[in-house]
Amino acid sequence: MATAPPTGSPAQGVDTYKPGTTINDWRPEDESFWQSTGRKVASRNLWISVPALMLGFVVWQVWSVTVVKLGDVGFGFSKSQLFWLTAVPGITGGTFRILYTFIGPIFGERKFTAFSTIILIAPLLWLGFALQDTSTPYWEMVLIAALCGLGGANFASSMANIGFFFPKREKGNANGMNGGLGNLGVSVVQLIAPLVVTAAVLGPPAGKALTSKKTGDEVWLQNGAFLWVPLLVIMALLAWFLMNDLKVAAAPFSQQKIIFKRKHNWLMTWLYVGTFGSFIGFAAALPNLINTTFTPINSAYSATTYAWIGPFVGALARWGGGWLSDKMGGARVTMLSFVGMGVALIVVINALPSGGNNGNFWVFYAGFLVAFFFCGLGNGSTFRQIPVIFRNQHLMEAAGQGEAVQAKALKQSEMEAGAVTGFSSAIAAYGFFFIPAMFANFPVVNSLWVFVGFYVTCLVVCWWFYARKNAEAPS
């Protein structure tokens, strides 16, 4: 049974820690509190957050697998238009992440998780109906894709929220678990959607089938959208009734905006653009990239068959990156990730078709799998660095000024770390847009060399500020 906090804690000194309530007294660094009460409550919130976030990623990435079938069933969109349909959710996902970063702590993360999950039903229903009519105009498809981007916005509020529940020594593992398993939504949709569209698994209520030009078989593209609707309803209800709002996580925007004056907000955002921006951008672009680059494997089925494994590897590696960072330090793992990503993309570049050479698909594919692995490590390690950096800096400034000042500094550091986590994830989410857009408008080889060069800058920033001896903010 949960123990009550001591007399004199906020809100009449009594907290039940029951599901669906607001918790006023939360002390994860207090070992006695953590073992008796905190761990159980934090774990419950984490394990509801994970599938809710996973479904958000499903909605965000549903277009990455939808576009590879559109031409086959009669939608007359160009190659460039298909890439743009893949990229558009990245614009709205990144933009709304900025809003979600600050709005969650204002209204309460439990309530906001339920709301941000249930509203994702709307774009999926619209998409399911639009896919049944090949005369659906392109502008309507773009609008639906933009609304699907709301699924990606959930990440900002979810990650900022979970960080508050866990003590410093477990933040890397908890954030890695939430983010990594949440990121699995990319793989889930890329694996399951191609399977459910080939059969009438949802029955007559899902609508009519279209006919594949290549095989003559019936195809139910709408199933890839409708399938997730009941799951979203379930997760929204679970979030509402079983999660908690933390009073310590509540903060008006007037307090959160201080992060825009913090140098390490911008530096860590730069690094996270390199890790997560690459992960989500490659995940969005890879199915169509395979489908348009390697003619011997030029079928929508093959593209989606192979593409899902990369994000799967990256998502699991994120969990590993958070855990490893708790053991050896986030900055070291982040540096390792950028070295690995750069080398992997050089392998990919050398495997691409050029001139009369058809390239080597399997080397190309293996290179991307390695890139996804190191992206995932870096995703986990950067989000472990952020709370450590802000905690250490605030406590150092409050050193020797008494327990009350130090407690205030610790609370401020938690608030700022949560806001930086959300903001950096928002900016990095634009990788979903920019990477597919670059592949749509520039030679693939040139785009990949740009990424390699960017990783070099990230490596230098991480070493100078966080990893070298006497670094300004070792993490």
Q: What is the pTM for the complete model shown?
A: 0.80
Cα 446–Cα 347–Cα 468 angle in degrees, nearest 5: 90
Query: Around 234, how many Cα atoms within 13 Å sit in the side-chain half-sphere?
Result: 8
**Above 90 in pLDDT, residue 54?**
yes
349 vs 3 pLDDT, higher one: 349
34-43, 79-88, 131-140, 453-462: which range is least confident on average?
Answer: 79-88
5-14, 364-373, 411-420: which range is least confident on average?
Answer: 5-14
pLDDT grade for 326, boundaries at 50, 70 and 90: confident
pLDDT grade for 9, boundaries at 50, 70 and 90: very low
135-144, 297-306, 413-422: which range is least confident on average?
Answer: 297-306
pLDDT of residue 51: 95
- For the record, the structure tokens of 259 come out as 């992060």
pLDDT of residue 202: 73
Percent of the chain at pLDDT exceeding 70: 93
210 vs 200 pLDDT, higher one: 210
- For the record, the structure tokens of 13 come out as 């000194």
Q: Which amino acid is at 449?
A: W
pLDDT grade for 14, boundaries at 50, 70 and 90: low
pLDDT of residue 7: 38
Which residue in 255, 268, 264 sits closest to 427, CA to CA? 268
Rounded (10°) angle between helices 109-118 and 79-107? 150
**Above 90 in pLDDT, residue 257?**
no
Which residue in 248, 262, 285 sits closest to 26, CA to CA? 248
Mean pLDDT of 222-231: 93
Class of domain 22-467: mainly alpha
46-60, 67-81, 232-246, 443-457: which range is least confident on average?
Answer: 67-81
pLDDT grade for 15, boundaries at 50, 70 and 90: low
Cβ neighbours of residue 136 closer than 8 Å, sequence gap 6 or more? 75, 130
pLDDT of residue 460: 97
pLDDT of residue 302: 61
**Above 90 in pLDDT, residue 440?**
no
174 vs 139 pLDDT, higher one: 139
pLDDT of residue 34: 93
Q: pLDDT tens digit string along 86-101?
A: 888 988 998 998 888 8
pLDDT of residue 6: 41
**Domain positions in the chain:** 22-467
- The rounded Cα 17 to chain-centroid distance in angstroms is 28
118 vs 8 pLDDT, higher one: 118
pLDDT of residue 297: 54
Mean pLDDT of 3-14: 42
Mean pLDDT of 419-446: 87
User: What does pLDDT average to over the chain?
Assistant: 87
Percent of the chain at pLDDT exceeding 90: 43
- For the record, the structure tokens of 442 come out as 């520039």
- Tokens 């990503």 sit at which residue? 341
Mean pLDDT of 268-293: 89
pLDDT of residue 3: 42
- For the record, the structure tokens of 289 come out as 């990239």
d(CA 191, CA 159): 25
Mean pLDDT of 230-246: 95
pLDDT of residue 102: 83
- The rounded Cα 27 to chain-centroid distance in angstroms is 27
